[in-house]
A and B are shown apart, each in its own frame.
Chain A
Amino acid sequence: MGNSSKLHRLQSMTAALVGVFFFNAIVGVFGLRLAIAGLAAFVLGAVVVCVAFPAQGAES
C-alpha cells in the first residue's frame, strides 16, 4: 500500500512536470515550431485521454 501510494505520487509529479513542459513549449519558449508541435501534441493527447478514459458514470 505504501509503495503504490509512493508510485502514485511519483506518477502525479511526472504528470505535473509534463504539464509544465507543455505549457512552456506552447508559449513559445522553445520557438514557434515547437510551440505548434506542442499544442498539436497536447490537444491530440487530451482528446485521446478523454475518449479512451470516459469518466466513469458519465455514460447512462
Chain B
Amino acid sequence: MKLDPSIIARIQFAFTVSFHIIFPTMSIGLASFLAVIEALWLKTKKPVYLEIYKFWLSIFAMGFGIGVVTGIVLSFEFGLGFARFAQMAGPAIGPLIALEVLTAFFLEAGFLGIMLFGLHRVGPKLHFFATCMVAIGTLISASWILSANSWMQTPAGVAIRDGHLTVLSWRHVLVNPSWLYRLPHMLTAAYLTASFMVAGVGAWYLLKGKHQHFARRTLALGTAFGTVLIAGQVFIGDILYGTMLKYQPSKMQAAEGFWEKQSQSPAPYYWFIVPDQNNQRNRFQLGIPYLGSIWLTHSLNGRVEGLRNTPRDFQPRMGMVFYAFRIMYGLAMVMFAVGVASLWLRFRGKLFSSRWFLWILVFMTPSGIIATLAGWYVAETGRQPWVIYGVLRTVDAISPVPAQALLSTLIAFVCVYAVFITAFLVFAFRIIRRGPGEVPPHAEASGSVKNAFRPYVLDSPERLVNSSITQRS
C-alpha cells in the first residue's frame, strides 16, 4: 500500500497540536483563576480561598507541564513535517515565535517555580506577584502564537519572490487582518474553559454533599464568570465570523453546509448534513427553517453563499468544517443557557440546591475544552487546502521525509501521548476524589521577602510550626 506522506504529515501535526491545545487552554484559564483566588485570599484572609488555590494549583501544575513538553514538540514539528512551509514562512512567523519565547515562555518558566514551590520561601506579596507573572505570561504567549497562526490565515506585510519571503512591514505581519479578532476569542475560550471546569467540580462536590464551603464558593465563582464570559464570547464570535467571511469566504461557505452559489430564500440553519464533496451536493440535510437567514444574513429572507462559489481545487472539506463549527456553536448555546439558568437560580435562591442544574454543570465540566478544540478544527481544516492562505498549499509544504518514517513517529506520538493523558486524568480524578486539603485557620505564606534574601536556614522554628495540621474547616 502506497502511503501518502502529505496525509500522514497532516494527521501527525493535527494529532500533536490538538493534544497540545487542550493544555494551554486550561493553563491560561486556570492561571488567571488562580491569580483571582490568591488576590481574594490576600484581601479577605478567608482560609477557603487558600484551599481553592492549593487544590487547583496541583491540577494546574500537571496541565502546565504537559502543555510545555507538547509545545516544544510543535516548535520543531514545523520543520520536521513541513520543512518547505518552514523555509518559506520562517522569516515571517519565526521572529514572532522567537519573541513569544523571549517575552512569555521565559516569564512563565521563571516564575512558575516560585508559584509552585515558593509558598513557604517567599512572602505573600512576592508569591502573588509570581502567580500574576505566570498568568500574564500565558496571556502574552497566546498573543504571539495567535498572531503567527492568524498570519497563516490572513497573510499580510510580506513580499514573495521565487518562493522566498521578505517581510516588508512588521506592523502588518503582527497586526494582520484577523489577529485582533481571533485573540480575544481564544482568550475568552480559555477563561470559559476554566470557569466551567471549576464550576463542574464544585457541583460534583455539592451532589456528593462534601466540602460544602469550597464547593459553593467555586460553583458561584465559576458560574458568575462563565455567564459574563459566554455572552462576550458569543459577541466576539459573531464579529469574527463577519471578518472571516471577508478574508476566507471558502471557510465560512464550508461551515454552513450550503453548496449552491446562492441558497434558497429563506435559508434554513442546518444541523445535520451528509456532504458529497465529489458531487458538490448534500446527500441528506436537516435544518431549522428560516434560522439560516436570520443568523447568517440577519434578515428573514436573505440567501447564503454556498461552497460552489469557491473553485473546487481551493475548497476545504465541508464535512469537517461544518461539524466542527456546529459542535462549537452548539456548545456555546448550551453554555449561554447554563449561564442564564445560573442567574435565574441565584435570583430564586436555589443555585446550590437544584440537583438537575448541578448535574448539568458536572456534564459541562469539559465543555470549554471540546468547544475550543472544535473551534480550532474550524480554523485549521477550513483554511485547507492552504497552509498559508492564498500563498502556499499544504501538499507543497511537506518535508522530504519518507512516509514510513512519518507513520512510525505518528504511532510513537499516539502511544506516548496516550500515557500522558491517562496519567493526567488518573491523577486529576484522584485529586478531585481526595478533595481540597485541610488548611489551618490562620495559615499564611510563612516566608517574607526579607527572609528570601537571608541565608536559608533548615528546620527553623517557623517551618516546624507551619507543618502542623489543625482540625478540618
Docked complex Cα distance between A58 and B235 (Å): 30
Q: Is the CB of A46 within 8 A of B349?
A: no
Q: Is the CB of A57 within 8 A of B212?
A: yes
Q: Is the CB of A55 within 8 A of B352?
A: yes
Q: Is the CB of B346 within 8 A of A27?
A: no
| B213 to A, closest residue via Cβ | A60
Contacts of B333 in A (CB 8 A): 23
Q: Is the CB of B234 within 8 A of A23?
A: yes
Asked if B48 CB lies within 8 Å of chain A CBs, one says yes
Partner of A29, one of B212, B217, B298, B349: B298
Query: B466: shortest Cβ distance to chain A, in Å?
Result: 22
Per CB-CB distance, the 10 closest pairs between chain A and chain B, nearest first, are: A19-B340, A55-B351, A55-B220, A58-B220, A27-B238, A53-B346, A15-B344, A50-B224, A28-B238, A58-B216
Count of chain B residues with a beta carbon within 8 Å of a chain A beta carbon = 34
Contacts of A26 in B (CB 8 A): 231, 234-235, 238
Asked if A49 CB lies within 8 Å of chain B CBs, one says yes
Contacts of B91 in A (CB 8 A): none
Q: Is the CB of A46 within 8 A of B295?
A: no
Q: Is the CB of A35 within 8 A of B231?
A: no
Contacts of B298 in A (CB 8 A): 28-31
Contacts A19-B340, A31-B298 given; indicate if A39 touches B231 (C-beta within 8 A). yes
**Binary per-residue interface labels of chain A (42-60) against chain B in the complex, 1 for a CB within 8 Å, 0 otherwise:** 1101110110011111101
List residues of B (341-364) whose CB comes within 8 Å of A's CBs.
343-344, 346-349, 351-352
Q: Is the CB of B232 within 8 A of A39?
A: yes
Query: A45: shortest Cβ distance to chain B, in Å?
Result: 8
Asked if B337 CB lies within 8 Å of chain A CBs, one says yes
Contacts A23-B336, A55-B351, A56-B349 given; indicate if A35 touches B213 (C-beta within 8 A). no
Interface residues, chain B, CB within 8 Å of chain A? 46, 48, 212-213, 216-217, 219-220, 224, 227-228, 231-232, 234-235, 237-239, 294-295, 298, 333, 336-337, 339-340, 343-344, 346-349, 351-352
| A27 to B, closest residue via Cβ | B238
Docked complex Cα distance between A46 and B90 (Å): 45
Q: Is the CB of A46 within 8 A of B228?
A: yes
Query: B4: shortest Cβ distance to chain A, in Å?
Result: 40
Query: B307: shortest Cβ distance to chain A, in Å?
Result: 22
| A28 to B, closest residue via Cβ | B238
| B343 to A, closest residue via Cβ | A49
Asked if A10 CB lies within 8 Å of chain B CBs, one says no
Which interface residue of A8, A43, A58 has the most chain B CB atoms within 10 A?
A58
Q: Is the CB of A12 within 8 A of B346?
A: no
Q: Is the CB of B232 within 8 A of A29?
A: no
Query: A15: shortest Cβ distance to chain B, in Å?
Result: 5
Partner of A57, one of B46, B216, B237: B216
Q: Is the CB of B294 within 8 A of A50?
A: no
| B48 to A, closest residue via Cβ | A60
Contacts A27-B234, A53-B347 given; indicate if A46 touches B227 (C-beta within 8 A). yes
Docked complex Cα distance between A35 and B239 (Å): 10
Partner of A19, one of B232, B237, B337, B349: B337
Contacts of A30 in B (CB 8 A): 298
Docked complex Cα distance between A26 and B333 (Å): 12
Docked complex Cα distance between A35 and B235 (Å): 7
Query: A31: shortest Cβ distance to chain B, in Å?
Result: 7
Docked complex Cα distance between A35 and B339 (Å): 18
Contacts A19-B340, A23-B336, A46-B224 given; indicate if A29 touches B294 (C-beta within 8 A). yes
Contacts of A50 in B (CB 8 A): 220, 224, 343, 346
Docked complex Cα distance between A60 and B220 (Å): 13
Contacts of A36 in B (CB 8 A): 235
Contacts of B235 in A (CB 8 A): 26-27, 35-36, 39
Contacts of A28 in B (CB 8 A): 238-239, 298
